[in-house]
């Protein structure tokens, strides 16, 4: 099924029984695309929300080496490591790329309602796989991340795409600060979630696992979402060959990327993994830069927030499942008749129906496949040129 624009934000909101922060969203739910470039002037405004993080560091460098992007802000959040490491790590990347013109604003120290669980086991205690860089001289701006996001979105209504590559706490906080935020944002491209099992629990992908409540708010916000999850990012393994290509580049960015790659590959091998690390977050940036590298399907995605074993799981509802094929006419009927079901009502509860939405309306296009070679061609070329 190809991405369709046949539903509006209002349709999505009207069928939502759980939407909390959505108000007057009336635009067509279409997914952000880069404008056609007629010379260097055509740039897309983005804010990058991140928890660096080995693959975040690569993603930030890739974004800062991409002339198509006008990066309005970088907003670190606690995730892979605590905020007192993700914030300076983001500032280090900005300095390495020579882009200290980009405002970096401190985000949330903890998830909305949970204790922080980090992934230092995978990213090393310093978040960069053990690669050491000098203390940054650049300071973050005074404004908190959530407020900066709202202010930039208000200044450029309909123009800003959020690229989120960490837990979604900052975005949820921003939605809470400004009830018009969802309507002002052009779209959100996230590394997060999975429709094929997790990486921190069997059910959940790390970014959504850390703050499932924030994830749920974002999926229910009405912002057109592009979900780049483990279904595709598992196929982005960094190799020795990539390291060699990066280390032969002369620029500060290439050398820094090579240093992080060396440390991260060694760290991953020391844990007993034969391959890895994966460049999850760079794939989300790439999905915005060149969506033709991936293929997408439309889903209604919701997040499990209650499960004792499954909190943070992303569930994708679609009338097209597995090998079931229908004629276009029957497919249309199936889409119009499908309801969204949750768990069966309990005897003790007040709910008497499992239906949580009376109509299936997609809120996300989900990446389901990619061309790994084209992805790495783009990533390595931009980092090492």
* Catalytic hit among 123, 242, 267, 280: 280
With tokens 């970096």, the residue in question is 104
Greatest alpha-carbon span in the chain: 67
- CB 224 to ligand BDR: min, Å: 20
Q: Which of 29, 73, 90, 165 binds ligand BDR (CB under 6 A)?
A: 165
Site for ligand BDR in 106-145 (CB under 6 A): 119, 122
Is residue 216 at the binding interface for ligand BDR, with CB under 6 A as the rule? no
With tokens 């992080």, the residue in question is 260
- As a dihedral over the C-alpha atoms of residue 193, residue 198, residue 199, residue 205, rounded to 10 degrees, the angle is 20
Q: How far apart are CA 157 and CA 165, in angstroms?
A: 22
Site for ligand BDR in 183-202 (CB under 6 A): 191, 199
- CB 43 to ligand BDR: min, Å: 25
Give the total residue count for the chain.
Answer: 385
Binding mask 42-61 for ligand BDR (x = CB under 6 A): -----------x-xx-----
Among residues 281 and 335, whose Cβ is nearest to Ca ion?
281
Active site residue 242: no
Among residues 29 and 210, whose Cβ is nearest to Ca ion?
210
Residue 83: both structure tokens together: 């905020």
Give strand pairing partners of 190. Answer: 164, 227
Among residues 184 and 236, whose Cβ is nearest to ligand BDR?
236
- Give ∠ CA 176-178-184 in degrees, rounded to 5: 125
Residue 188: both structure tokens together: 């959100």
Among residues 15 and 233, whose Cβ is nearest to ligand BDR?
233
DSSP state of 292: G
Contact 229, 194 (CB under 8 A): yes
Is residue 166 at the binding interface for Ca ion, with CB under 5 A as the rule? yes
Contact 310, 201 (CB under 8 A): yes
Assign 3-state DSSP to the chain and report helix, strand, coil percentages, each to 5.
35, 15, 45
Q: Which of 31, 206, 288, 317 binds ligand BDR (CB under 6 A)?
A: 206
Residue 183: both structure tokens together: 């309507």
- CB 127 to ligand BDR: min, Å: 9
Binding mask 223-262 for ligand BDR (x = CB under 6 A): ----------------------------------------
- Which residues are at the interface with ligand BDR (CB under 6 A)? 53, 55-56, 80, 119, 122, 165-166, 191, 199, 205-207, 280-281
For the annotated catalytic residues, the residue numbers are 280
């Amino acid at each position: 099924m190809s991405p369709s624009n046949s539903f509006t934000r209002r349709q999505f909101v009207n069928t939502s029984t759980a939407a909390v922060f959505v108000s007057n969203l009336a635009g067509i739910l279409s997914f952000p695309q880069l404008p056609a470039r007629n010379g260097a002037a055509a740039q897309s405004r983005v804010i990058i929300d991140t928890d660096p993080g080995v693959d975040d560091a690569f993603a930030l460098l890739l974004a800062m080496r991409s002339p198509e992007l006008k990066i309005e802000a970088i907003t670190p959040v606690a995730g892979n490591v605590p905020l007192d490491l993700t914030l300076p790590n983001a500032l280090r990347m900005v300095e390495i790329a020579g882009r200290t013109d980009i405002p970096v604003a401190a985000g949330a120290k903890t998830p909305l309602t949970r204790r922080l669980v980090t992934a230092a086991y995978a990213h090393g205690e310093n978040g960069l796989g053990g690669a050491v860089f000098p203390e940054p001289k650049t300071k973050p701006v005074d404004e908190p991340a959530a407020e900066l996001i709202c202010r930039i979105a208000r200044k450029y209504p309909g123009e800003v795409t959020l690229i989120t590559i960490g837990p979604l706490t900052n975005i949820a906080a921003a939605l809470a600060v400004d009830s018009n935020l969802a309507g002002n944002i052009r779209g959100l491209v996230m590394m997060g979630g999975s429709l094929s099992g997790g990486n921190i629990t069997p059910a959940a992908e790390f970014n959504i696992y850390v703050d499932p409540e924030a994830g749920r708010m974002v999926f229910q916000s009405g912002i057109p979402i592009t979900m780049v999850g483990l279904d595709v990012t598992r196929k982005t393994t960094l190799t020795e060959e990539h390291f060699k290509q990066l280390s032969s580049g002369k620029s500060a960015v290439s050398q820094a990327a090579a240093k992080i790659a060396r440390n991260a590959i060694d760290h991953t091998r020391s844990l007993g993994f034969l391959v890895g690390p994966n460049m999850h977050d760079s794939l989300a940036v790439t999905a915005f830069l060149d969506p033709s590298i991936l293929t997408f399907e439309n889903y209604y995605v919701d997040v499990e927030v209650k499960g004792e074993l499954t909190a943070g799981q992303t569930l994708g509802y679609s009338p097209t499942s597995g090998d079931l094929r229908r004629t276009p006419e029957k497919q249309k009927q199936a889409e119009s008749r499908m309801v969204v079901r949750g768990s069966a009502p309990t005897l003790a509860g007040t709910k008497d129906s499992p239906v949580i939405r009376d109509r299936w309306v997609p809120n996300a296009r989900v990446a389901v496949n990619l061309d790994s070679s084209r992805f790495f061609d783009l990533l390595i070329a931009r980092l090492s040129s």
